[in-house]
C-alpha cells in the first residue's frame, strides 16, 4: 500500500514537473526577504511556510491544468506523448481534480496571510491557468507564462507588507522577461509540430533564428531590470556578484543553442536557468542580511 502511494505521488510530482519549482521559488524568497528586511518584526516561520505553500499550490494547479488542457495535443506530439496523461499513467479526471484541489488550497492559504493577497488570489489563478490556452490564440504565450511566474516575488512581498512597492516589481519584471526568453528557446523543439496544429509561438511566428534574436532581446531587458533593481535597491557587493553570475549564465545559454543545432536545449532550459535562479537569489538574500 505504501509503495503504491509513493509511486502515485511520484507520478503527480512528474506531472507538475516539481523540480521546475526551482525557477520561481528563489524569486519568491527574494520578495519575502526584501519585505522582512524592511520590517523584521513581521518574520515568522509560519508566514514563510504559507508563502512557500502558496507557491507550490499555485504552481501545481497551473502545471496540472496545462497538462490537462494539452492532453490531446501532447498525445500527437512524439516529444510529449510520454507525459502522464497521454500515456494513461494519470487519468484526465484525476488530473482535473488535482488542479481543483490545489487551487482551493492556494486560495485557502492566502486567506490566512492577509486580505490583499486573498482578494488577489483569483486573479493570480486566472493568469497562471489562462496560460494553458494562450498558445491557441497568440504567439505572445511565452510572455503570459513569464507573467504567471513573475507573480512570485511581488506575491511574497505582499504577503508580508500588504502593499505594492517598486523594488519587488522590478524583480517581477526580471522574472517576466527571463522566463519568456528561455521558454522561447525551449519552444524551438516544437516549431514544426506547432505549425502542423496551428498553434502559436514565437518560433512559429519568426522562425528559429528570429525566435533566438527575440529571446536575446527579452534577456537584454532582464539584464536591464537586474541593474535597475541593484541601483534602486541599494545592492552591495554580494548583489553584484550574484547579478554577474546570473547575467553570465543568461548569456551562456544563447551560445548553447543554434538555429541548426537544438541538441543542448534542455541544458540551456533547465540546468543553466535553474543554477542561475538559485545562485542569484542566494547572493541577493545574503546581500540584504549579511552586509
Phi, psi of 261 (to 5 degrees): -150, 100
pLDDT tops 70 at residue 291: no
Instruction: Report the pLDDT value the prediction gives residue 2, as an integer from 0 to 100.
Output: 62
Average confidence (pLDDT) over 178-192? 95
Q: What is the rounded CA–CA span in Å between residue 108 and residue 279? A: 31
Instruction: Report the pLDDT value the prediction gives residue 209, as an integer from 0 to 100.
Output: 95
Distance of CA 95 to the CA centre of its chain: 20
Span 125-147, pLDDT tens digits: 999 999 999 999 999 999 999 99
Question: Domain ranges in the chain?
Answer: 22-290
Instruction: Report the pLDDT value the prediction gives residue 266, as an integer from 0 to 100.
Output: 82
Average pLDDT, the chain: 94
Q: What is the rounded CA–CA span in Å between residue 55 and residue 32? A: 12
Q: What is the rounded CA–CA span in Å between residue 58 and residue 61? A: 5
Q: What is the rounded CA–CA span in Å between residue 99 and residue 62? A: 7
Size of the chain in residues: 291
pLDDT tops 80 at residue 86: yes
pLDDT tops 90 at residue 267: no
pLDDT tops 90 at residue 215: yes
Average confidence (pLDDT) over 80-108? 95
Higher pLDDT among residues 7 and 76, named by residue: 76
Span 5-60, pLDDT tens digits: 767 788 888 888 877 788 899 999 999 999 999 999 999 999 999 999 999 999 99
- The C-alpha cell of 81 is what? 506523448
Residue 188 and residue 65 in contact, taking contact as beta carbons nearer than 8 Å: no
Query: 175: number of CA atoms within 13 Å, CB side?
Result: 32
What is the residue whose three cell numbers read 504577503? 159
- The C-alpha cell of 121 is what? 488570489
DSSP the chain: -HHHHHHHHHHHHHHTTGGGGGTTHHHHHHHHHHHHHH-GGG--HHHHHHHHHHHHHHHHHHHHHHHHHTHHHHHHSTTTTTSTTTTTSS-HHHHHHHHHHHHHHHHHHHHTT-HHHHHHHHHHHHHHHHHHHHTTT-TTHHHHHHHHHHHHHHHHHHHHHSS--HHHHHHHHHHHHHHHHHHHHHHGGGHHHHHHTT---HHHHHHHHHHHHHHHHHHHHHHHHHHHHHHHTT--HHHHHHHHHHHHHHHHHHHH-BTTB-TTHHIIIIIIHHHHHHHHHHHHHHHHHH-
Instruction: Give me the architecture of the 22-290 domain, per CATH.
Output: Orthogonal Bundle (1.10)
Instruction: Report the pLDDT value the prediction gives residue 3, as an integer from 0 to 100.
Output: 65
- pLDDT band per the 50, 70, 90 thresholds, residue 1: low
Q: What is the rounded CA–CA span in Å between residue 10 and residue 33? A: 31
Q: pLDDT exceeding 70 applies to what percent of the chain?
A: 98
Average confidence (pLDDT) over 171-195? 96
Instruction: Report the pLDDT value the prediction gives residue 279, as an integer from 0 to 100.
Output: 97
Amino acid at each position: 500500500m505504501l509503495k503504491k502511494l509513493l509511486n502515485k505521488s511520484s507520478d503527480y510530482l512528474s506531472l507538475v514537473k516539481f523540480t521546475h519549482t526551482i525557477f520561481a521559488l528563489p524569486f519568491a524568497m527574494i520578495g519575502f526577504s526584501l519585505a522582512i528586511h524592511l520590517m523584521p518584526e513581521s518574520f515568522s516561520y509560519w508566514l514563510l511556510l504559507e508563502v512557500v505553500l502558496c507557491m507550490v499550490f499555485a504552481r501545481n494547479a497551473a502545471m496540472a491544468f496545462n497538462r490537462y488542457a494539452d492532453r490531446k495535443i501532447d498525445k500527437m506530439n512524439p516529444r510529449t506523448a510520454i507525459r502522464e496523461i497521454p500515456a494513461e499513467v494519470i487519468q484526465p479526471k484525476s488530473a482535473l481534480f488535482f488542479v481543483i484541489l490545489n487551487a482551493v488550497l492556494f486560495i485557502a492559504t492566502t486567506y490566512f496571510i492577509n486580505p490583499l493577497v486573498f482578494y488577489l488570489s483569483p486573479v493570480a489563478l486566472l493568469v497562471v491557468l489562462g496560460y494553458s490556452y494562450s498558445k491557441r490564440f497568440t504567439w505572445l504565450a511565452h510572455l503570459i507564462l513569464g507573467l504567471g511566474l513573475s507573480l512570485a516575488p511581488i506575491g511574497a512581498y505582499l504577503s508580508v507588507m500588504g502593499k505594492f512597492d517598486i523594488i519587488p516589481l522590478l524583480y517581477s519584471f526580471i522574472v517576466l522577461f527571463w522566463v519568456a526568453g528561455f521558454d522561447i528557446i525551449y519552444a524551438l523543439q516544437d516549431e514544426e509540430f506547432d505549425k502542423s496544429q496551428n498553434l502559436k509561438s514565437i518560433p512559429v511566428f519568426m522562425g528559429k533564428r528570429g525566435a533566438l534574436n527575440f529571446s536575446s532581446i527579452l534577456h537584454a531587458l532582464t539584464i536591464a531590470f537586474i541593474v535597475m533593481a541593484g541601483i534602486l535597491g541599494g545592492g552591495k557587493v554580494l548583489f553584484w556578484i550574484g547579478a554577474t553570475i546570473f547575467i553570465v549564465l543568461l548569456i551562456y545559454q544563447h551560445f548553447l543553442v543554434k538555429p541548426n543545432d537544438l541538441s543542448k536545449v534542455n541544458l540551456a532550459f533547465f540546468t543553466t536557468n535553474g543554477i542561475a535562479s538559485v545562485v542569484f537569489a542566494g547572493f541577493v538574500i545574503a546581500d540584504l542580511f549579511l552586509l
